[in-house]
Chain A
Amino acid sequence: MFSDFDLKVILSSLPYLFGTGMVFTLTLTALAASGGIVIGTLLALMRLSGIAVLAWPAKAYVNVMRSLPLVLVIFWFYFLVPYMGQWLTGASAPISVGAFTSALVTFTLFEAAYFSEIMRAGIQAIPKGQTAAAQAIGLNYRQTMATVVLPQAFRNMLPLLLTQTIVLFQDTSLVYVISLTDFLGAASKVAQRDGRLVEMYLFAAVIYLLICIVASTLVRRLQRRIAIIR
């Protein structure tokens, strides 16, 4: 099976694999992680608000998202996002948004549920005295959160947020179900076209492995630094 291992097929497809596939994967990961952290933080704040009409929907949302398989959510959103667009913009017909936007919305909203749990733990871990001190100098709720609680929660939780982002990075390969071409998709296309399944899937595996190992190592180093500061 490895006797005719062909390195050339890998080399010649590098520009396509990275220029198209990896750029797509990284773009989707970065955008969905940023959006997911913002929405996740808002969900966490809703849940911790102590106001039932805010806390309850946030809790329900997070629990529902976390109990569904991602592939299913991707499928559903692919059909639902046009209607969500229609509802949001008040248009008369479903808005066609394209597969990329659909995937971005899906991953952002899906990851938001996970990021929200991380941020919730982070916010709860900030001592009550910090909030009291912020309020005592006259900061209102929004200012207290924005300048005292969230920056500390975010800093303390950064390693976990990044670890979750690494998981997201791997999960983005599921976009093949709506015919998008990410890094794995690109490798797969070349593999099918040239009949070089072993080479291409092995190469893809090595790249994912390398990226994740390097990223995890960096996160661990960051974690140690944060532990020292605290």
Chain B
Amino acid sequence: MSATAAPAAVKPMISIDSISKWYGPVQVLKDCTTQVTKGEVVVVCGPSGSGKSTLIKTVNALEPIQKGSITVDGIGVQAKGTNLPKLRSRVGMVFQHFELFPHLSITDNLTLGQRKVLGRSNEDARTRGLKLLDRVGLSAHAHKYPGQLSGGQQQRVAIARALSMDPIVMLFDEPTSALDPEMVGEVLDVMVNLAREGMTMMVVTHEMGFARKVANRVVFMDRGEIVEDATKDDFFDKPRSDRAQTFLSKILAH
């Protein structure tokens, strides 16, 4: 379907292969197939309830699927022998509502996974955590608690937390949609930098400015289906489906 399907030699970082998912009798993902190759930034968009969050959460098995298969860096997400915690630790995820741990200081939020999952020493985890905090411009807040930070700051910490695990790919589920408008920019800046440094990213977002700036491809979903999977330019300039055209005209009208 995609005009820029990866050449056979390039192994995809994420490969989603004809997956379907049901909630009871309701099918929320219908035979979805797409890939993300190393270094690629793929933006996923579509109307509310189209299955974007569900799709992205299947990648690290936060949502189970009933059909199809997914691999991350060649490892089967549903395969029996897969060590899920280990696989998840290599896939960074950023949530719409940040989901920092409110009972832990910013520093502890940044070191928890490093210590418990990667077995790093306190010292080591701290040094790396603080370096990442600096990278998102928040070193002054290391000792604070999540509740003391603004939404934009919390989301930047959440990105730093995901990066602290040295992920090979980052997933974002509407990282800016819960933010006040004036805070969207600071979070997008961090994401743009990340993309420019070559991070492989799958991003559910309606920020079309971000998509235009750094996306390689756009996946458009509607009613559980991947309706369009195109290069950024193709998607914005000549969307093929009516549904994508309607969606674009609505969202760009704002």
Contact = CB atoms under 8 A, between A and B. Distances in A.
Interface string B148-163: 0000000000000110
A121 B62 CA distance: 23
Given A143-B116, A152-B102, A155-B103, A135 B88 contact: yes
Interface in A133-150: 133-140, 143, 147-148
Interface string A146-163: 011001100100000000
B247 interface: no
Interface in A74-131: 127, 129-130
A230 B102 CA distance: 8
B86 interface: yes
A229 interface: yes
A151 B104 CA distance: 10
Given A129-B97, A147-B112, A136 B60 contact: yes
A132 interface: yes
B208 interface: no
B85 A138 contact: yes
A177 to B, nearest CB: 42
Contacts, number: 68
Interface in A175-230: 229-230
B147 interface: yes
A155 B247 CA distance: 45
For chain A, which range describes its interface: under 10, 10 to 19, 20 to 34, or 35 or more residues?
20 to 34
Contact of A136 (B86, B91, B100, B118): B91
Contacts of B90: 138
Measured as residues with beta carbon below 8 angstroms from the partner, the interface class of chain B is 20 to 34
Interface in B195-233: none
B113 interface: yes
B236 interface: no
Given A137-B162, A138-B113, A143-B116, A130 B88 contact: no
A132 B99 contact: yes
B113 A137 contact: yes
A143 B91 CA distance: 18
B89 A138 contact: yes
Contacts of B86: 138
Contacts of A132: 57, 62, 93, 95, 99
B62 A135 contact: yes
Nearest to A136: B93
Nearest to B167: A137
B99 A129 contact: yes
Given A129-B99, A130-B101, A230-B102, A139 B147 contact: no
Nearest to A130: B99
A88 B60 CA distance: 43
B165 interface: yes
Contacts of A139: 85, 112-113, 116-117
Contact of B165 (A130, A138, A148, A151): A138
Contacts of B101: 130, 133-134, 147-148, 152
Interface in B144-196: 147, 161-162, 165
B60 to A, nearest CB: 6
A134 B147 CA distance: 18
A95 B117 CA distance: 44
Contacts of B118: 138
B165 A137 contact: yes
Given A143-B116, A148-B101, A137 B161 contact: yes
13 contacts: A130-B99, A133-B99, A133-B100, A136-B88, A136-B92, A136-B162, A137-B88, A137-B89, A138-B85, A138-B86, A143-B117, A148-B101, A152-B102
Given A132-B57, A138-B117, A155-B103, 16 more contacts: A127-B97, A129-B97, A129-B99, A133-B100, A135-B88, A136-B91, A136-B92, A137-B161, A138-B89, A138-B118, A138-B165, A139-B116, A139-B117, A143-B116, A152-B101, A152-B103
